[in-house]
Amino acid sequence: MNLVAVLIVRNEAANLPGCLSSLGGIVDAVHVHDTGSIDATADIARSHGASVSSGPWTDDFAAARNAAVAAAGRPGWVLSIDADDRAEADPARLRAVLAGARTDAFLVQIDNAHDELPYTLHTPRVFRPDRVHWEGRVHERLVPEHGVWTALPREALRLTHIGYEEPETRRRKAVRNIAIGEAELATVTDPGLLATTLLDLGRSYVGAGRAQDAVDTFERLRAHCAPGDRQWVLGTDALARLLLGAGHDDAVVFLARELRDQGADRQYCDWLEAQALAQLGQAAEAWRLLGGVRHVVDPAGRVYPPTHLAELRRLLGELVKVS
């Protein structure tokens, strides 16, 4: 059993040393697949002992990740990590979990530093490369997924992602993803892939600050999918959060109630609706809704920090006392 960290990179000379240093003692080897760097990325990778391959960038993240895994040889397990990730682990605990694994992939906790609101997410990052592969030009995913993948214990391995820490970095990535998404949207015919493409494109528009394009795309997604479908839920939630920031609070109340009716987590829907009600001046009703909220986990599985909920509760409490 060997564990190899596999990265796809392009012009990551600034981020790569921190990532590679964090992997020391955790993995057996590191393989870096370069997709056209013009800086010192490849030299930095080699100086840290990583093997390096290269290939063209084809506006397809899944294709690049699959090429990177193929060039890494035949590892028993792959840790898929990006240059703007930092790893922390208990290597002995991690090896023990992998040795007894009965799953093709493990979910890894990722703590995302974000310029707006940090959050934690579990996503598959450790996997058997002979059993699963990547699909999706943007926001790629591992397939096939048989049942529910197991989450690695936080103590065994966790990642910190710093790629969204700076607004300009997040905007630049969103602009890149928009170009890929718009090209795919022009050719896609499969209904399931169309829903995924619309969702990804809408999120990218949000990241790039193109609010009206995002609204139009999420509305198209909602019309395309049946209410309650996963992509419908994710798109409706993204639309609601976008409108909340824009002050369209009546629409947010409507969307939060739609989400609740379609089975989305009740505490999350109450948290979302409470914010809109507070902005509408209905502090007492917002306070009532927030009373049953103990944690905030959105439909995509992002866990928001309890400090944010505590601050909202404090502000609402003050408003209720005043009124």
Q: What does the domain layout of the chain look like in residue ranges?
A: 3-164
Helices 283-290 + 266-279 axis angle, to 10: 160
Phi-psi label, residue 69: left if phi above 0, alpha if psi -120 to 50, beta otherwise: alpha
Count other C-beta atoms under 10 Å from residue 312's C-beta. Answer: 18
pLDDT at 323: 59
Provide the 3-class DSSP secondary structure of residue 37: coil
Assign 80 to helix, strand or coil.
Answer: strand
| CB neighbour class for 143 (10 Å; exposed up to 12, middle 13-18, buried from 19) | middle
At residue 77, the pLDDT reads: 98
Residue 322 confidence (pLDDT): 67
- Give the angle subtended at the CA of 57 by the CAs of 56 and 63, to the nearest 5°: 95
Q: Strand, coil or helix: what is 110? A: strand
Instruction: Provide the pLDDT for residue 219.
Output: 98
Contact at 8 Å (CB) between 205 and 213? yes
Q: How far apart are CA 8 and CA 83, in angstroms?
A: 8
Nearest CA to 296 out of 310, 281, 280 is that of: 310
Q: Which pLDDT score, from 0 to 100, does residue 147 have? A: 73
- Please give the Cα distance from 106 to 69 (Å, whole number): 17
How high is the pLDDT of residue 250? 98
The DSSP secondary structure of 284-299, one letter per residue, reads HHHHHHHTT----B-T
| Predicted pLDDT at 139 | 84
pLDDT tens by residue, the chain, 323 residues:
799 999 999 999 999 999 999 999 999 999 999 999 999 999 999 999 999 999 999 999 999 999 999 999 989 999 999 999 999 999 999 999 999 999 999 999 999 998 788 999 999 999 999 999 999 888 899 999 877 899 999 999 999 999 888 889 889 999 999 999 999 999 999 999 999 999 999 999 999 999 999 999 999 999 999 999 999 999 999 999 999 999 999 999 999 999 999 999 999 999 999 999 999 999 999 999 999 999 999 999 999 999 999 999 999 999 888 65
Other C-beta atoms lying within 10 Å of the C-beta of residue 120: 17
Is residue 32 within 8 Å of residue 50, measured between CB atoms?
yes
Distance CA 273, CA 281 (A): 12
* Cis-peptide, bond into residue 118, ω within 30° of zero: no
| Superfamily of domain 3-164, CATH level 4 | Spore Coat Polysaccharide Biosynthesis Protein SpsA; Chain A (3.90.550.10)
